Structure 1
Amino acid sequence: MLAGLQNVTFEFGARVIVKDATWHIQPNERIGLIGYNGTGKSTLLKLLTGGFSPSKGTVEKSRDTTIGYLHQDLLSFDTNESILQVALGAFERVIQLEKEIEELGKELERTGDEKTLHEYSDKLHEMDTLDGYNIHHTTEEVLQGLGFSNADLHRPYKEFSGGWRMRVLLAKMILAKPDLLLLDEPTNHLDLPSIEWLEKYLQHYQGAVVIVSHDKYFLNRMVTKIIELYQKELHVYNGNYEFYETEKEIRIEMQQKAFENQQDYIRQNERLVERFRAKASKAAMAQSIMKKLDKLDRIEDVSVERPNIRINFRVDKTPGKVLVELDNISKSFGEQVILDHAKAEIERGDKIALIGANGKGKSTLLRIIAGIEPIEGERKWGHNVDESFYAQHQLESLNLNNTILDEMRSCGAQMTDAELRTLLGCFLFSGDDADKKIKVLSGGEKARVALAKTIVSKANFLMLDEPTNHLDMHSCDLLIDALKKYEGSLVIVSHDRHFISKTANKIWEIVDHQIKEFKGGYDEWVAWNERMAAQAKQVASSKKGEQKANAAPAPAPVVKEKPVEAAPKNQAINKEQKKELQKQQRQFQQAEEALNKNKALLKTLEAQLADPAIYADKDKFLEAEQGYKKAAEENKQLEQKYEAVFNLLMELEEHAG
């Protein structure tokens, strides 16, 4: 066991966070720690690291166990050092060794002392054992994986925003390779490519990892065990997040039945007490029943903690077919070009996810769509569009002197106070929270108020920039459910892959300063990209093999390309496109078969020419040589035809997609 809790109870004042909890973390475990916002997940991590002491029980840790803990409080750290130097801080011993080796080297040059030579050799050996000569390369690799460019590496840490600083500290932590990594919302400040890189890195991490995250997609790919903090207890599920969801439903159903059975039992016994209490002869029996009820271990009602409230949108007007038209749009910030003569249309019913790496201009494009970003080119609203825009800057429009409830009333939703309070519950404002003043709220709480206002606006076109950033999983699910039923159109910027996969029917990317559209959901887009990458790799491999064959007589590899699949079934492809696609697929297969057949012939002729016996017969040699030249020339033509058909297929599929 690396670390854990043994019969731990922890209280904040009168509030119990966890009661009699036992949790042992074993080497190489991948654990997701989950629970509703405010239940105490971060508190549990602080207990494990010694940041808090339990009210009762013990926190256990092996003497040699090293722990790395990534959390928001780390942002108070500041320095003038470059981000490369900060991340290299993970290798304290190696950096110390570098200094010692340098000093010993100078002393050795000066004295030639044998004792110094031995010490110098020992230090070199330790450096080699710690793989110290590769730390700069490894650190650069990790920082680049987390989204930093080469030019960024030598910039001062203090120049970067909070999100980028958190990436540097994450890099430093994983480079230090502690036995146990505790990561509190590690994907909050990452874009999609960086999240994917982190997944791959952590999957091969030689140590245990505990992750607190509201990113279901990330948890599904990362963890093999779920620990849920629910009703002040820790519940263990031996599987990923999908397994947890299925198993949790079964457990809730069983707990609900047990709760109802116990309530029936309590009611029956209470009726007996009422009946017997007045009779002197039965008073002792009534007392006995009451004592038995007092000692009863009460089962919690599962519906108490977070009821399944629904968010309902109200759309007043139906817009025209095209909501927004972007024509010949160009946008740049100094030398950084975002869009260059780009075009796009948003149609009624579109639910678009705008995705890609940070810095590519997603939020800028969203502001262009909203009509609040200066541009070159033309942007036109369609007929009857009633829009609502949610982004971090919307927080500035909140009236600081209003209560949350006042702020919700001010957006003209025509909802009763009871309905508004119910809705605010979905956005993690329960009970008296709705009466808090806006000015006392944290940044995350203000963001949730602004999002709630956007949701109740009765708009038929929503623009949402990172709407799930300050929500827990349950609230995300409620929002997903609402957006699925939403009759209007929307554009979302989000790095939450689960959220995108459940809400979007189109994917937009900014590629080469143009808006590239994919007509299909996120999972289809991922599958299409993987298919295109595999086909490109096979073509590159085929070309490489061909170049090898032409450079020297050697057996040529047989190309085993998979036939190109048709576009996803749910995409609308007209009959002509489908017919042409099928025709090109047939031609592709024919070209592939002819190429493979010719390569097999080339292989046979090469084997003949490699046989010394053939050179004894001049006629046979000339025949084989001429046959080889002819086959090689034919191979070249077949390769060109194969490539042409392949490229046409890619274009057709992309157009269909």
Structure 2
Amino acid sequence: MIAINNLTFEIGARALYDEANWHIKPGEKIGLIGANGTGKTTLLKIIVGDYKPTSGSISMAKDLTIGYLNQDLLSYSSDKSILHVAMEAFERQNQLHTEIETLLKKLETDYSEDLLNKLSDKQVEFEALDGYNIEYKAHEILAGLGFAEADQDRKLATFSGGWRMRVMLAKILLQAPDILLLDEPTNHLDLPSIVWLEDYLRNFEGAIIIVSHDRWFLDKVINRTVESRKGKLTVYAGNYSFYLEEKGLREEIQRGEFKNQQAKIKQEEKLIERFRAKASKAKMAQSRIKMLDKMERVDDVDDDNPSVNFNFKFSKPSGRHVVVLENVSKSYPNLTILENTGAVIEKGDKIALIGANGKGKSTLLRIIAGADKEYTGTSTTGHNVSQTFFAQHQLESLHLDNEILAELQSFAPKHTDTELRSILGSFLFTGDDVFKKIKVLSGGEKSRVALAKALTADANFLVLDEPTNHLDMQSVNILIQAIQQYEGTVIAVSHDRYFLDNIANKIWFIENHQIKEYPGTYQEYEEWNSKRQIAPKAAAPAPKPLKEEKKEQVKQQPSEDKNKQLKKLNQDLGKMEQQIADLEQEVKQLENKLADEEIFNNPAKLKETNTAYQHKQTALQQLQQQWETLAEQIMELEA
């Protein structure tokens, strides 16, 4: 379909691609991944002909049709309705429709056979191109991307950039090209629209290349992963999760080869050093020197996954109830968001607040954070609660003339420079990067500075509105690690489901103007919700509004004697601690095996051992979480 051969692309003295090769086959659904600055968007522009390669070639069939969604389309505007703009995708059908209308007008006065034949030919072609259904198709795709029926007649220019981007995506999908090139297609979509797009792309018959930082989305759609790294393109025959596992195995093998080669080099260097001074052995020493010079060196494995290496501290823990909402109602003209609803955020909760755009997630978050006072009911902040509120508009509060380090120093004077550098390092600002002026940073870099700044606050309650916007996968992973080891309380709105699934122990959503809760992870919620939608009668009943649920819990407290209950829980805790100790021992043994030369030099044994290690690690983490839950129950009973 498309063949990239020995592609080299240089920007100044830097080679973004250096003799890279890649063959794209029909029907492949590919995720193009790599760190920021490795040239993913550039490669898409090279494929569509916007950029010319320095050398090498890109060959494709002359009649190949390409649909390209890129972030430059954000600036596109029109005074035509969004339905009209979307239907511009049907270029030939629209042309035929105009010609048929013209011929029908002429037939009012001209009844010639020639005119009738022309009309017949146009109508046959129009029908063959399914021209009578194009408006229905446009309505269907716009609805899938979140546009209400009434909005489809509004002018494109009246929508924000993010919504205009959705219209451009609809137009490209309606073109049904041979290959789709999608650069960050989920950036401006809410969760329902992302789920709809996943289903659409899975059933799309052509090839797809997706550049995205949304790993959950990639896992759902792609069957190939191509990594752009160090000027080369490496293909992995599976989705993103497969890529991570396979890359890990390849790196283990490479690390083993590197260690073996380094040991061999040291041995050869010792022999050379020993014999080069002896005349009888000089020839042999020279021969070994030449052999070393010609040896193709194996590179050591680079660590592309920085980890959080600092602890978030707050001076005072909060009380048990962090925020209590009671009888809260909030509405705008012609739109009710919340109606006489309530909820409780408890100490240690990590809540994901999810739902479609326009359902009131950010409004509820602002009420919780105290940034919105225009509502009825009460929002009560608990004892010793200190909060920090992160939202995208706070990027505007950064001091553009400050250097990055100076921005954090002025905000968090109690932290040492070493601590602040450590925090910035975790958010990928290393070395002299910390002395960059904020005004020269990209949107994603500013987001990372604002997040680092928010996390240096002496706060035991984090309120996060779309914290993953503009973050690459490395930065999202860092934020996940930071929140996982944070001992305070968190509520977050995000459309990144991988992020939500890894940080949340409760899911909140707004339904019928009520705040409702699902007590589990995002993945568990998604499975429950899909069953509820498919078979609402057979599925579990929807959670009740939280204020009702709390009352019911009080009524249903077990009558069992408190001391007996405590005794049983403590026994269960003891058994669990023994299980954890046994599992920790097994994990340690597997870690030792992975470091064994005999194992890491044998790919089959390495894969088997690594799989066992991952299973044990997952089991250990789950058991530790269960232990924490049980320990909290015991503390509550003892209080």
| Range moving further from structure 2, 380-389 or 50-59 | 50-59
Residues 293-339 of structure 1 show CA distances to partners (whole Å, capped at 9, x for unaligned) of 33333322222555445453223221001111112222222222211
In the other structure, the counterpart of 2:213 is 214
Q: CA deviation at 1:577?
A: 6.1
Is the partner of 1:109 in helix, strand or coil? Answer: coil
Matched, 1:514 2:514: yes
1:158 Cα deviation after fit: 1.4
Give the counterpart letter for 2:23 in structure 1.
H
1:429 is aligned with what amino acid? F
Which residue does the alignment assign to 2:563? none
**Residues 118 and 252 from structure 1, CA distance in 2 versus in 1: closer, same or farther, beyond 3 angstroms?**
same
CA separation of 1:320 and 1:154: change in aligned 2, threshold 3 A: same
1:604 alignment partner in structure 2? none
Q: Which residue of 2 aligns with 1:387?
A: 387
Q: Which runs of 5+ in 2 are unaligned?
A: 544-548, 559-639
Aligned counterpart, 2:329? 330
Query: Which structure would you say has the larger Rg?
Result: 1
Q: After TM superposition, give the deviation of residue 110 of structure 1 in Å.
A: 1.7
Partner Cα separation in structure 1 for residue 19 and residue 414 of structure 2: 47
| Distance apart, 1:270 and its partner CA | 3.7
**How does 1:311-330 map onto structure 2 within 5 Å?**
312-330=311-329
Cα offset for 1:175? 0.4
Shift in Å at residue 459 of structure 1? 1.4
Secondary structure of the residue aligned to 1:22 is strand
Cα drift, residue 403 of structure 1: 0.3
Q: In 2, distance between residues paired with 1:498 and 1:248?
A: 19
Q: For residue 566 of structure 1, report the CA deviation from its aligned partner.
A: 13
| Matched-pair contact (CA < 8 Å) for 1:494–1:500 | yes
Q: Structure 1's 67 and 578: CA in aligned 2 closer, same or farther, altered over 3 A?
A: farther
What secondary structure, in the 3-state scheme, does the structure 1 residue paired with 2:109 have? helix
Equivalent pairs counted in the alignment come to 551
Tell whether the 8 Å contact from 2:30 to 2:223 is kept in structure 1 after alignment.
Answer: yes
Partners of 1:239 and 1:88 lie apart in 2 by 35
What TM-score do the two structures reach when normalised by structure 2?
0.82
SS of 1:110's partner is coil
Distance 1:250 1:396, change over 3 A: same
* Residues 310 and 478, structure 1, Cα contact 8 Å, conserved in 2: no
Are residues 1:466 and 2:497 paired?
Answer: no
Whole-Å separation in 1 of the counterparts to 2:155 and 2:350: 40
Structure with higher RCO (Cα < 8 A, 6+ apart): 2
CA 8–280 in structure 1, closer or farther in 2 if over 3 Å, else same: farther
What is aligned with 2:44?
45
Q: Distance in 2 between matches of 1:107 and 1:566?
A: 61
SS at match of 1:234: strand
**Larger deviation, residues 39-48 vs 306-315:** 306-315
Aligned partners of 2:286 and 2:313: how far apart in 1? 56
1:356 alignment partner in structure 2? 355
Question: 1:84 corresponds to which residue?
Answer: 83
| C-alpha deviation, 1:181, in angstroms | 0.2
Deviation at 1:358, TM superposition (A): 0.5
Match of 2:123?
124
1:144-189 alpha-carbon deviations (Å, 9 max, x no partner): 1100111211111111111111101100001001100011111111
Q: Distance in 2 between matches of 1:16 and 1:292?
A: 30
Q: C-alpha distance in 1, partners of 2:350/2:481? A: 14
* Corresponding position of 2:222: 223
Task: Tell me, yes or no, if structure 1 residue 59 matches structure 2 residue 58.
Answer: yes
**Contact kept in structure 1, 2:310 and 2:419, CA below 8 Å:** no
- In the alignment, does 2:413 pair up with 1:417? no
- What is the Cα deviation at residue 444 of structure 1? 2.5
Q: Quick check: 207-216 or 286-295, which moved more? A: 286-295
Identity across aligned pairs (percent)?
55
Q: Distance in 2 between matches of 1:98 and 1:294?
A: 71
Which residue does 1:150 correspond to in 2?
149
Shift of residue 124, structure 1, vs aligned partner: 0.4
Q: Which residue of 2 aligns with 1:628?
A: none
**RMSD over aligned Cα, in angstroms?**
2.5
Amino acid at match of 2:382: G
Whether contact under 8 Å (2:307, 2:481) holds in the other structure is no
Q: Which moved more, 1:292-301 or 1:187-196?
A: 292-301
1:438 and 2:438 aligned: yes
| Alpha carbons of structure 1 residues 575 and 489: separation in structure 2 relative to 1, 3 Å | closer
Secondary structure in 2 aligned to 1:90? coil
38-47 vs 379-388, greater mean Cα deviation? 38-47
SS in 1 for 2:355: coil
Q: Equivalent residue for 1:451?
A: 451
Name which of structure 1's ranges 487-496 and 43-52 shifts more when overlaid on structure 2.
Answer: 43-52
CA pair 188-170 structure 1, distance change in 2 beyond 3 A: same
Between the aligned partners of 2:51 and 2:265, the Cα distance in structure 1 is 39
The aligned residue for residue 481 of structure 1 is 481
Give the partner amino acid of 2:143.
Answer: Q
The code of the aligned residue for 1:385 comes to: V
**Residue aligned with 1:235, SS:** strand
Which consecutive residues of structure 1, in runs of 5 or more, have no partner in the other structure?
Answer: 540-560, 580-657
| In 2: Cα distance, 1:192 partner to 1:566 partner | 19
Match of 1:524 in 2: 524
Contact kept? 2:47, 2:58, Cα under 8 Å: yes
* TM superposition shift of 1:413: 6.3
Q: 1:410 to 1:282 in 2, by over 3 A?
A: farther
Paired residue for 2:404? 404
1:315 and 1:487 in contact (8 A); partners too: no
Q: Is the 8 A contact 2:258 2:298 kept in 1?
A: yes
